[in-house]
């Protein structure tokens, strides 16, 4: 396991840390209620179609469920953000326009969008809707974020998981938009928002199909010596009978390279930024997002409770903040590959 350690950041910081909003995943109505009850300030959800980037069978909301979930969250003082973060199919743009209309009708607190066409439609037809720029837009500079703020009126931008802490600090200091960062969950190791790797095997781009490695292409083949994971017929990994299994994606597959079988691009591991929380709060970030709309309500509950406790502790005692063993032990259970990393935030070789 990669150790979580304190990081020194040579950036100017705010004297009084801002307490960020805790934004948690809701892949189902049960997960939404669980997140709210566990202390989420906001949850994010999507409709049951390709307008959102977690378009898995059995996940997401129909209109009645979405309305019920929003009513539940609002009654308990939490917000609901709707993800419309895939890119519009030019043959059928009406699906995305309809999703924006639905969000306005059911009183969603904000839309999370990547496509400028969706942002433009929302701005022109529902100017009262708050707009957030999705991580799928891959905006990694304050100039890019200011472009979206000035032209489409976005209020918040979700940063891709590719920036160092000093870069995050510089960005926060130079944009008028709120900044949201990922705090915990599966780590995208590619050029986030622009990765088309799985489309070479499945024929479907994550930005349009609504999912990386669509479940229709996934196969698990059981055998006496274990399990083989395939993506559209391509062998991604072999697992021993008692070995933990990751969801098959090309970037996290094990392959034979120069006679050695190993993870060719990246090992399965979870981003965990608890160690960087004081720095992120001093930068003035508006929100910390937990990844995992495809994960279970149990995952949502435990991770939400840990992060609620950590954020409250850091806000109340910023100078005495320290990782609690109980937090780490709880998150260990839910980390991908049972490993944690600070990802791009920590680059000791720089």
Q: Give the side-chain half-sphere CA count within 13 A for 119.
A: 24
Instruction: Convert the pLDDT of each residue in 91-147 to its tens digit.
Output: 999 999 999 999 999 999 999 999 999 999 999 999 999 999 999 999 999 999 999
Rounded to 5 degrees, what are φ and ψ at 51? -80, -10
Q: Which two tokens stand for residue 51?
A: 């307008």
Beta bridge partners of 235: 230
Q: Which two tokens stand for residue 307?
A: 């992060």
CA R_g for the chain: 20
The residues, ordered by sequence, that sit 6+ positions from 337 with a Cβ below 8 Å of its Cβ are: 244, 246, 267, 268, 269, 270
Task: Report d(CA 310, CA 218) in Å as an integer.
Answer: 36
Rounded to 5 degrees, what are φ and ψ at 177? -80, 150
Q: Which pTM does this prediction carry?
A: 0.87
Task: Report d(CA 194, CA 207) in Å as an integer.
Answer: 8
pLDDT tens for the chain, 350 residues long, are 333 333 333 343 445 567 999 999 999 999 999 999 999 999 999 999 989 888 777 889 999 999 999 999 999 999 999 999 999 989 999 999 999 999 999 999 999 999 999 999 999 999 999 999 999 999 999 999 999 999 999 999 999 988 999 999 999 999 999 999 999 988 776 667 777 788 888 888 777 766 678 888 899 999 888 999 999 889 989 888 888 777 788 888 888 888 888 887 777 778 899 999 999 999 999 999 999 998 999 999 999 999 999 999 999 998 899 999 999 999 988 887 667 777 777 765 45
Consecutive H or E run containing 220: strand 218-223
Q: Are strands 131-133 and 178-186 parallel, antiparallel or unpaired?
A: unpaired
All structural domains of the chain, each given as residue ranges with its CATH number in brackets, are 21-189+269-345 (3.20.20.70), 199-263 (no CATH)
CB 265 within 8 A of CB 276: no
């Amino acid at each position: 396991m990669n150790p979580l350690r304190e990081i020194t950041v040579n950036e100017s910081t705010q004297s009084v840390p801002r307490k960020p909003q805790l934004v948690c995943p809701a892949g189902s109505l049960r997960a939404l209620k669980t997140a709210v009850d566990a202390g989420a300030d906001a949850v994010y959800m999507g409709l049951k179609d390709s307008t959102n980037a977690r378009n898995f069978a059995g996940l997401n909301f129909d209109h009645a469920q979405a309305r019920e979930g929003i009513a539940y969250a609002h009654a308990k003082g939490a917000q609901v953000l709707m993800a419309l973060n895939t890119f519009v199919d030019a043959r059928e743009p009406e699906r995305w326009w309809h999703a924006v209309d639905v969000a306005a009708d059911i009183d969603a607190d904000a839309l999370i969008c990547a496509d400028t066409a969706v942002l433009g439609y929302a701005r022109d037809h529902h100017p009262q809707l708050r707009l957030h720029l999705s991580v799928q837009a891959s905006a990694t500079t304050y100039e890019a974020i200011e472009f979206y703020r000035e032209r489409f009126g976005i209020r918040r931008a979700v940063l891709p998981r590719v920036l160092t802490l000093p870069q995050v600090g510089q960005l926060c200091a130079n944009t008028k938009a709120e900044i949201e960062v990922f705090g915990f969950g599966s780590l995208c190791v590619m050029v986030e928002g622009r990765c088309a790797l799985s489309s070479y095997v499945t024929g479907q781009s994550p930005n349009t199909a609504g999912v990386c490695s669509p479940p229709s292409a996934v196969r698990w083949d059981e055998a006496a010596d274990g399990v083989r994971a395939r993506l559209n017929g391509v062998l991604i990994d072999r697992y021993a009978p008692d070995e933990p299994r990751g969801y098959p994606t090309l970037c996290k597959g094990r392959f034979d390279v120069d006679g050695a079988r190993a993870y060719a691009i990246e090992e399965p591991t979870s981003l965990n930024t608890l160690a960087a929380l004081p720095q992120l709060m001093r930068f003035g970030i508006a929100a910390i997002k937990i990844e995992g709309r495809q994960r279970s309500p149990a995952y949502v509950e435990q991770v939400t409770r840990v992060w609620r406790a950590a954020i409250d502790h850091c806000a109340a005692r910023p100078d005495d903040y320290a990782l609690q063993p109980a937090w780490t032990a709880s998150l260990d259970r839910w980390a991908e590959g049972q490993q944690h990393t600070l990802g791009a935030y920590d680059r000791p070789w720089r």
